[in-house]
Amino acid sequence: MQQLLKQLFSNSKYLVRLIFPVLVMMMASSLFILPAAATGVYQIPSLTADTWILDQGDVISRLNEGQISKTFQDLARETGNEARIVTIHRLDYGETPESFAKGLFSKWFPTAAEQANQVLLLVDTVTNGTALISGDQVKSLLTDSIVQSVAEETLGTALRSGNKYNQGFLDVSDRLVAVLSGKPDPGPPEIKETVQVEGTFTKAEETDQGNATAWVVGLLIAATVIPMATYYIYLVFQKPPSQESEE
Give 89-146 pLDDT, tens digit per residue: 999 888 999 999 999 999 999 999 999 999 999 999 999 999 999 999 999 999 999 9
pTM for this structure? 0.65
Q: State the pLDDT at residue 196.
A: 47
| Residue 88 near residue 99 (C-beta atoms within 8 A) | no
CA distance 108 to 46: 7
CA distance 158 to 46: 29
For 69-189, strand residue ranges (E) read 82-88, 118-124, 129-134
15 exposed, middle or buried (CB, 10 Å; 0-12, 13-18, 19+)?
Answer: exposed
Could you write out the DSSP letters of every residue in 164-217? -HHHHHHHHHHHHHHHHTTPPP--SPPPPPPP----SSPPHHHHHHHHHHHHHH
Q: How is residue 151 annotated by DSSP?
A: I
